[in-house]
Amino acid sequence: SEKGIFYALDLGGTNFRVLRVELGGQRSDLDPDVEQQPIPEQLMTGRSEDLFDFIASSLYQFVEKNDSVQSPITKLLGFTFSFPVKQTSVSSGVLIKWTKGFAIRDMVEKEVAGALQQALTRKGLNMRVSVLVNDTVGTLALGHYHDADTVAAVIIGTGTNACYWERTDAIIKCQGLLTTSGGMVVNMEWGNFWSSHLPRTSYDIELDAESPNPNDQGFEKMISGMYLGDIVRRVILRMSEESDVFGPVSSRLYLPFTLRTPLMAAMHEDDSPELTQVARILKDVLDIPDIPLKARKLVVKICDVVTRRAARLAAAGIVGILKKIGRDGSGGITGGRSRSDIKMRRTAVAVEGSLYTQYTMFREYLHEALNEILGEDIARHVVVIVTEDGSGTGAALLAASHSSE
Ligand code: ADP
Ligand code: MG
């Protein structure tokens, strides 16, 4: 029932977004204004003040376009900050560590909403950071706004993570803490999931060792958009060194992240009979010209294997959540009933991230694995819903729901 104009800022990967949502007092189709821009690479590893000043300037220009920046009424801002955070209140939290290529040392263990608030004040913007949320939580909020059966949200973009709604009494960490709903959203930080049952190849091990955060985010490094292209590069490099299928070894193959995931996807999805896209990308990006069709087919196969593994791991993670909350048809962790006599409730999972939305083969493999693990009968009740700009729009909705007006 909230009314008014609410802003959000979504930071946590390749691009950052500023958003403006106007709420009219009743549930409706939200039509947020969104602007997106890439984060300059030097800001990802520099000083925190520079990053936050840059963001504050972009936000200032965005507000200026639509509203009066000078207005005496304080505007409310939802801040989506998608890195591991120790949440200290609805509007504050301390950065535990950076992921996804960010490495701003002076920010670690500092309060993030305060750092943004200070930059807004330096800029003279009358705006208050009223909620601090993870992108998964923003996505869950928007997913639930549109569909009340939404129980979990998954991000598959530059990085990967998920959150879900849990009964408070099932959360060991917060025993004694009460919430009015009896529930709480758990940000899983599943990008850092690890298990000895998860086989790692030498490519995974080398990618991890050469990353700015070794021994961290193992699941993410096998699944998300920041890394898939680089796994493929490493496989091609090894093949090139150990055989002559790709001709003389191209020196470009030694450069980390030369093959970005969108280009990997373009090669994977090349449906021309001669694989002309594959040939073009190999030549232009990896400096591997004139290889026979057989070798180009091999490249498509590598992309396929790497993407299929990623999509199936993500699907397994989703089923893990459903299992935990008793929505996998098994009656939950305490239930002993068989799948067939459980009445399965409709269950929605909100998903966001360009790897899922832009990469058709990834999406198809993920759905295929969900069907396979859950079985058709149960999978019928599980719907995956894409929430466009959910992580930001959801934060604006949460800012609204925490406003006093
Ligand atoms: P963010 O994670 O920064 O919030 P996105 O959800 O848009 O942003 O995800 C960006 C990531 O998605 C990029 O790092 C890239 O790896 C991947 N990506 C973008 N476009 C494509 C595409 N067409 N095919 C495959 N992957 C893509
Ligand atoms: Mg995002």
Q: What tens digit of pLDDT does each residue of 226-266 get?
A: 999 999 999 999 999 999 999 999 999 999 999 999 999 99
How confident is the model over 330-385, as pLDDT tens digits?
A: 865 444 555 555 678 999 999 999 999 999 999 999 999 999 999 999 999 999 99
Residue 353 in contact with ligand 1 by CB distance below 6 A: yes
Residue 357 in contact with ligand 1 by CB distance below 6 A: no
- The average pLDDT across 148-161 equals 98
Q: Can you tell me the distance from the alpha carbon of 64 to that of 58, in angstroms, rounded to the nearest whole number?
A: 10
How confident is the model over 62-101, as pLDDT tens digits?
A: 999 988 888 889 999 999 999 999 999 999 999 999 999 9
Give me ligand 2 centre to Cα 13, in Å: 6
pLDDT greater than 70 at residue 13: yes
**Pairing outcome for strands 347-352 and 382-386:** parallel
pLDDT score, position 26: 86
How confident is the model over 180-220, as pLDDT tens digits?
A: 888 999 999 999 999 999 999 999 999 999 999 999 999 99
pLDDT score, position 342: 61
Ligand 1 atom closest to the CA of 260, numbered from 1 = 16
Instruction: Answer whether CATH 3.10.580.10 is correct for domain 3-133.
Output: no
Token pair recorded at residue 127: 């705006």
For the chain, which residues make up each domain, given as ranges?
3-133, 135-389
Contact 390, 78 (CB under 8 A): no
Q: Which ligand is nearest to the CA of 158?
A: 1
In three state form, how does the secondary structure of 101-124 look?
Answer: CCCCHHHCCCEHHHHHHHHHHHHC
Contact 104, 36 (CB under 8 A): no
Could you tell which of 354, 356, 361 is best to mutate to test the pocket of ligand 1, judged by most ligand atoms within 8 Å of the CB? 354
- The average pLDDT across 32-38 equals 95
Q: Which residues of 188-227 are buried (b: 16+ CB within 10 A; e: fewer)?
A: bbbbbbeeeeeeeeebbeebbeebebeebbbbbbbbbbbb
Q: Is 368 exposed, middle or buried (0-12, 13-18, 19+ CB in 10 A)?
A: middle
83 phi-psi bin (left φ>0, alpha ψ -120 to 50, beta other) = beta
How confident is the model over 306-328, as pLDDT tens digits?
A: 999 999 999 999 999 999 999 99
Contact 312, 369 (CB under 8 A): yes
- The average pLDDT across 138-142 equals 98
Give the relative orientation of helices 390-401 and 135-146 as an angle to the nearest 10 degrees: 80
- Topology of domain 135-389, CATH: Hexokinase; domain 1 (3.40.367)
Under the banding of pLDDT at 50, 70 and 90, the label for residue 28 is confident
